[in-house]
Structure 1
Amino acid sequence: MAEHLELLAEMPMVGRMSTQERLKHAQKRRAQQVKMWAQAEKEAHGKKGRREQPWKEVSGLRPRKQVLFPPSVALLEAASRNDLEEVRQFLSSGVSPNLANEDGLTALHQCCIDDFQEMAQQLLEAGADVNARDSEGWTPLHAAATCGHLHLVDLLISRGADLLAVNTDGNMPYDLCEDEQTLDCLETAMANRGITQDSIEEARAVPELCMLNDLQSLLHAGANLNDPLDHGATLLHIAAANGFSEVAALLLEQGASLSAKDHDGWEPLHAAAYWGQVHLVELLVAHGADLNGKSLVDETPLDVCGDEEVRARLLELKHKQDALLRAQGRQRSLLRRRTSSAGSRGKVVRRVSLTHRTDLYRKEHAQEAIVWQQSPLTSPEPLEDEDRQTDAELRLQPPELSPAESGAPEALVRDKAHHTLAELKRQRAAAKLQRPAPEGPETFEPGLPVDTETSQPDCGFRTTGDPPLLKLTAPSEEAPVEKRPCCLLM
């Protein structure tokens, strides 16, 4: 057998080989390995006999212990060595040619892989099943077509091999064939048997239809769809791995778990990604499968996916799912903010309506009127010096109010409401000092602003006993009024 460094040196050359050349090269290396192993076993037995001979002469003869293998293992081992005589002895002693190992591989499978035509002929004559299936649904014709062994394909077809046999990947023998002559042989045989495209599609749908019928029976019996089967896999794992869209859709409709894990911690999405079932990947993700789910060794569906096309689709679905989750998070955050705002509205100071402000102004005006009506001697609280001086000045000569002014108390209240009591007193005193009491038609000082809409006097006492109000307007920004000191109060 070649050394490790020699094998590494051959890797670039093997990478440039075609599929058929790689198979032949692997068979050659396998033959060399078996030959060297047999030689090493022969030498080991010779050395062991020489070492045991002196011991036997001293201690006497003892029965030798022998290691016995099951007939299936012995038959496959003899077939893999192409030992026709030993296989014939096994078959003549009653060993079944259909014995298989733990993977379901029979001696006929092994012959079709290793291109042992005489051995395959001998097994078929002994009654070997030409359509035997291993654990992944491969028949001997699948193996011979994949390896491109034309003469074995002819032999199996002549013995009635199923040309429409479908393995667990959904592939028929002609789907796996890359050799042109072998593929032509398969297609010719299919045409001779009258196989059409419709019959091919029907054959591909048979495994799913069988599982669908079994699922309907389980539903009628009320079985739990999430019960673990072989290796802890559920029915949804099996449907996802095989690409059975209708079965998976029915399982999801009946509430099958998307997060069920097998013994390796795989979820159904892991199985669909590993076996390259892109339609099942989309279906499971659409129903809420977790693209970030991890197995026992922290592998996500992206980690176990080997198909580049399926991997690209998984990445696209992951980006969309992440964007959707972010959008939902923003909506939930906005909803929480709205809920919090709605719950705290009682704690927020609300704006006062116009009607309420008007009522407040009227109450303030009434309070000011009460203060003005009180005499300085009976007032509960002494006024400030400037307020007493202003009162004294205003009580000297109370001017008469015009009828127009006495008829519009509400307008005066609205215009005065934003002034304080001290400011009103100062303004009235200033107006009194600047202008004498009116004796005839009222005249207005050019320096004082006047409300042109109402044409009312600036000051005066009401006949009803209310405090005198001064109707003032704010000076315009274009022509500000020059403030002149009229008395010590300003």
Structure 2
Amino acid sequence: MAEHLELLAEMSAVGRMGTQERLKHAQKRRTQQLKKWAQFEKEIQSKKAKGEKRRKKGSSKEKQVVFPENVRLLEAACRNDVEEVRQFLQSGLDPNLYNEDGLTALHQCCIDDYEDIVLLLLEAGADVNACDSELWTPLHAAATCGHLHLVELLIAKGANLLAVNSDGNMPYDLCEDDATLDYIETAMAEQGITQETIEEARSTVERAMVNDIRRLVKEGVDLNTPLDHSATLLHIASANGYLEAAELLLEHKASMSAKDNDGWQPLHAAACWGQIQLVELLVAHGADLNGKSVLDETPLDVCADEEVRAKLMELKQKHDAIMKSHDKHKSLLQRRTSSAGSRGKVVRRVSVTERTNLYRKEHEKEAIVWQRQQQQESEAEDEDRQTDAELQLRVSVSWSGS
């Protein structure tokens, strides 16, 4: 800002200026004033920052955010940072660390096609058959993505070609790349894997579940006992398409109305995971097609599979039609019952004489009807006799003519 004495010295010169010149001079001085003010503010902030820095140096060490080991390893693997992953493994970090979904660094690198880190992890002892929360192995991931060189590497390291995920799929089921699929099928043939072996492997988990259910029944354990997330055994069988296990559970009165933490009933689980046989089975046993979850979702709302959606809609239409017919029949029965009751009351109020007259009239009507029937039968017999006579006459005439 301008000094006070400098401003006083300018007063006489400013007094001789015209209006426009005086405005320009004022604007110039204002600009100078703002610049000097900004510089002053900058110096103040600089001094404050220096003071804060000195105070921090004199205080204890600054706190730092430390992430868990599994997060650091997976994050470095996701960035394809080979050196950082190597340092972690050399420092003794477990290569099989996983996140909340059970995903390991090996799973992630098989998805992202980071071969260098896959080699590092396997050399450090990573489990080639590690399963995530949906039972996917690294081979499932590599086969799905069509990474042939990783599939070759994993199989060479002992990856299980018959590993079954929670949807009942093996790695070769999920592979759409022709070259990768050819390699997997060739490896399966070399290991002597047949169709019978494949079917047996697929049913292993369900067979184990069936055996567990039979054991629980024998021990008298409640089959509706809530498990993880309050899901029951019927929820699990329905979600995984375990038909034999579900039939066994229903045979022993497992509840179809039990709800998990999300308010899902077993039918929701079957619909969500596209298990059409389980949907039909549950509905046949009376499962609620209109059951609502915590978010007000029906089984149809959570179903993404078009075939299963069509089946659910068909079953719902049939169910609604049956219920409508049942309600109509029930209403008709109620009306009949009501009518019969009212007639009974009327009859009870009628006197004996009136009742006798009523019966007599009914008998007279019946007699009239009977007489009419007899008359009609007699007339019909006369017509038949007349027809027979005419025929005989025609025959005799024809014979005499010949």
CA distances 1:226-265 after superposition (whole Å, capped 9, x unpaired): 1211111111111110011111111111111111111111
Alpha-carbon separation, structure 2, partners of 1:356 and 1:310: 63
Task: State the match for 2:157 in structure 1.
Answer: 159
Evaluate the alpha carbon distance shift between residue 356 and residue 190 of structure 1 in structure 2; reply closer, same or farther with a 3 A threshold: closer
> Which residue does the alignment assign to 1:37?
none
Whichever structure has more helix as a proportion of its residues is 2
Aligned residue identity for 2:228? D
C-alpha separation in 2, matches of 1:148 and 1:298: 39
Query: What displacement does 1:96 show?
Result: 1.2
Q: 1:60 aligns with which of 28, 40, 57?
A: 57
Of residues 288, 298, 301, the one that matches 1:300 is: 298
Q: AA paired with 2:346? A: V
Residue 82 of structure 1 aligns to a residue whose secondary structure is coil
Equivalence for 1:124: 122
Q: Measure, in 1, the Cα distance between the counterparts of 2:52 and 2:89.
A: 39
- Aligned with residue 312 of structure 1, among 304, 310, 313: 310
Structure 2 Cα separation of the partners of residues 252 and 53 of structure 1:
75
* Structure 1 pair 225–54 and aligned structure 2 pair: CA distance change class (3 A): same
1:60 deviates by 3.2
Q: How does 1:440-455 map to 2 (within 5 A)?
A: none
Q: Which residue in 2 is equivalent to 1:213?
A: 211
Aligned to 2:80: 82
Larger radius of gyration: 1
SS of the residue aligned with 2:58?
coil
Q: Which moved more, 1:55-64 or 1:260-269?
A: 55-64
| Separation of aligned partners in 2, 1:92 and 1:242 | 40
CA distance, structure 2, for counterparts of residue 157 and residue 82 of structure 1: 22
User: What does residue range 151-300 of structure 1 map to in structure 2 within 5 Å?
Assistant: 151-300=149-298
Aligned to 1:327: 325
Q: State the SS of the aligned residue for 2:239.
A: helix
Q: Any idea what the Cα deviations from partners look like across 1:352-407, whole Å, max 9, x if unmatched? A: 5689649xxxxxxxxxxxxxxxxxxxxxxxxxxxxxxxxxxxxxxxxxxxxxxxxx
Structure 1's unaligned 5+ residue stretches are 1-50, 359-490
For the residues of structure 2 that align with 1:189 and 1:356, how far apart are their CA atoms? 94
How far 1:84 sits from its partner (Å)? 2.0
Query: How far off is 1:185 after superposition?
Result: 0.9
1:384-443 CA-to-partner distances (Å, cap 9, x unmatched) read xxxxxxxxxxxxxxxxxxxxxxxxxxxxxxxxxxxxxxxxxxxxxxxxxxxxxxxxxxxx
* Corresponding residue SS for 1:131: coil
Three-state SS of the structure 2 residue aligned to 1:65 is: coil
TM-aligned CA distance change 1:52 to 1:143, over 3 Å: farther
Question: Structure 1 residues 341 and 195, CA, compared in 2 at 3 Å: closer, same or farther?
Answer: same
Over aligned residue pairs, what C-alpha RMSD do you find? Answer: 2.2
| Secondary structure of 1:195's aligned partner | coil
**Of 314, 335, 338, which residue of structure 1 is paired with 2:336?**
338
The aligned residue for residue 454 of structure 1 is none
Partner of 1:96: 94
**Letter in structure 2 aligned against 1:84:** V
**Cα pair distance change 1:189/1:355, threshold 3 Å:** closer
- 1:317-396 to 2 correspondence within 5 Å? 317-349=315-347, 357=360
2:22 is aligned to none
Cα drift, residue 338 of structure 1? 3.0
Whole-Å separation in 2 of the counterparts to 1:60 and 1:297: 53
Secondary structure (helix, strand or coil) at the match of 2:163 reads coil
Distance verdict in 2 for CA 1:176–1:330, change over 3 Å? same
* Alpha-carbon distance between aligned partners in 1 of 2:93 and 2:296, rounded to the nearest angstrom: 45
Summarize deviations over 1:321-372 as a string: whole Å, max 9, x none: 01111111122222223333343342234895689649xxxxxxxxxxxxxx
Partner Cα distance (2:285, 2:359) in 1 = 57
Measured against aligned partners, the alpha-carbon deviations of 1:430-489 in whole angstroms (never above 9, x if no partner) come to xxxxxxxxxxxxxxxxxxxxxxxxxxxxxxxxxxxxxxxxxxxxxxxxxxxxxxxxxxxx
Opposite residue 287 of structure 2, the aligned amino acid is A
Q: What do the CA deviations read for 1:18-67 (whole angstroms, capped 9, x no partner)?
A: xxxxxxxxxxxxxxxxxxxxxxxxxxxxxxxxx96652225533302111
List aligned pairs for 1:428-467, cutoff 5 A.
none
Counterpart residue type for residue 206 of structure 1:
T
- Secondary structure in structure 2 of the residue aligned to 1:304: coil
What is the match of residue 136 of structure 1? 134
1-structure distance, mates of 2:104, 2:234: 30
Q: Which runs of 5+ in 2 are unaligned?
A: 1-47, 362-402
The change in CA–CA distance for 1:114 and 1:355 in structure 2 (over 3 A counts) is closer
Change (3 A) 1:343 1:199: same
Residue type matched to 1:341 in 2? Answer: S
Further displaced range: 62-71 or 334-343: 334-343
1:173–1:352 distance in 2 versus 1, CA, 3 Å: same
Report the residue type matching 1:192 in the other structure. Answer: E
Identity of aligned residues (%): 68
- After superposition, the Cα gap between the structure-2 partners of 1:304 and 1:61, relative to the gap in structure 1 and judged at 3 Å, is same
* Cα distance in 1, alignment partners of residues 200 and 343 from structure 2: 67
Letter in 2 for 1:61: G
| 1:160-181 Cα shifts (integer Å, max 9, x gaps) | 1111111111111111111111
Q: Which amino acid aligns with 1:159?
A: K
Shifted more, 54-63 versus 274-283: the winner is 54-63
Letter of the 2:275 partner, please give it. Answer: Q
TM-score between both structures, scaled by the size of structure 1 = 0.60
Tell me which amino acid in the other structure corresponds to 1:210.
Answer: A
What is the aligned partner in structure 2 of residue 149 from structure 1? 147
